[in-house]
């Protein structure tokens, strides 16, 4: 009986060992099955997409090249022998033709003032019917002070005929920026040292149409100190220069 029990026990142990040994070596089919199973859902793994092949970068566009040409010369500060200036005003344009040989020093100052934009915004602050239209005081007092520098007189080589343009003066060698246009022949001014340097060649009708209602009332000291702030407040209907520019020269 004892032998039989031992025999049965030994057989049971051997069977268990055989089963254990078989289970520790998974079959090829089982391995393949585990390989194809989805991963456990402890984390979601997102596969990284394979980047598409990058196209070679195109070379940067080349800026268009400027066609070769003549370089622009800077504007000379020296007044030409003759030139024209267009005054665009609140009543329309008029054009002055300037001749350096008529009054060289006056022409040089006039040329500099135009190129500096000095006359832009000027009011025609003094109009004496059948005599003169006067202007040349800046609407900006700082600009007036900048150009308040006397220039020497020129000899009077032309007469103050209708349409001629001349510097105003307060005596010998006191010309600065103020100008007047003769509305008639004012030959009596020649002997007083008023030297014309140009003449209106277009738009004299515009000059003759400027508002005359204020006459000689605007005060020059107030214009010098306050500029257009004074004129706009006290004399709002004065005509004025929008822009003065050189339009031709030789």
Per-chain mean pLDDT for the chain? 81
- Measured CA to CA, the distance from residue 152 to residue 180 in angstroms comes to 18
Residue 14 has pLDDT above 80, yes or no: no
Distance, CA of 243 to CA of 122 (rounded, Å)? 9
Only one residue has tokens 């020497």, namely 152
pLDDT band at residue 18 using 50, 70 and 90 as cut-offs: very low
Of the candidates 199, 176, 196, 205, the one whose C-alpha atom is nearest the C-alpha of residue 84 is 199
What pLDDT sits at residue 199? 98
Largest CA-CA distance found in the chain, in angstroms, rounded = 169
Q: What is the pLDDT of residues 175-197, one digit of tens each?
A: 999 999 999 999 999 999 999 99
The pLDDT score that the predictor gives to residue 74 is 58
pLDDT over 80 (residue 76)? no
The predicted pLDDT at position 111 comes to 98
Reported as a single tens digit per residue, the pLDDT across 88-136 is 999 999 999 999 999 999 999 999 999 999 999 999 999 999 999 999 9
CATH topology of domain 82-249: Cyclophilin (2.40.100)
In the DSSP assignment, the letter for residue 174 is -
Give the side-chain half-sphere CA count within 13 A for 110. Answer: 34
* pLDDT confidence bin for 62, thresholds 50/70/90: low
How confident is the model over 228-249, as pLDDT tens digits? 999 999 999 999 999 999 998 7
């Amino acid at each position: 009986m004892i032998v039989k029990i031992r025999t049965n026990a030994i057989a049971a142990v051997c069977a268990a060992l055989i089963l254990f040994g078989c289970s520790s070596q998974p079959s090829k089919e089982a391995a393949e099955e585990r390989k194809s199973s989805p991963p456990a859902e402890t984390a979601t793994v997102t596969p990284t997409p394979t980047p598409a092949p990058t196209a070679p970068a195109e070379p940067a566009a080349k800026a268009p090249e400027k066609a070769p040409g003549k370089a622009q010369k800077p504007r000379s500060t020296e007044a030409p022998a003759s030139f024209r200036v267009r005054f665009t005003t609140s009543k329309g344009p008029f054009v002055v033709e300037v001749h350096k040989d008529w009054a060289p020093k006056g022409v040089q100052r006039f040329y500099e003032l135009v190129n500096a934009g000095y006359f832009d915004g000027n009011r025609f602050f003094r109009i004496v019917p059948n005599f003169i239209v006067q202007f040349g005081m800046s609407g900006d007092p700082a600009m007036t002070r900048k150009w308040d520098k006397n220039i020497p007189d020129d000899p009077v080589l032309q007469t103050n005929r209708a349409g001629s343009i001349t510097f105003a003066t307060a005596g010998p060698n006191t010309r600065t920026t103020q100008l007047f246009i003769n509305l008639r022949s004012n030959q009596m001014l020649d002997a007083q040292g008023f030297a014309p340097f140009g003449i209106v060649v277009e738009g004299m009708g515009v000059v003759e149409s400027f508002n005359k209602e204020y006459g000689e009332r605007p005060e020059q000291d107030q214009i010098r100190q306050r500029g257009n702030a004074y004129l706009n407040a006290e004399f709002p209907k004065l005509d004025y220069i929008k822009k003065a520019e050189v339009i031709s020269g030789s």
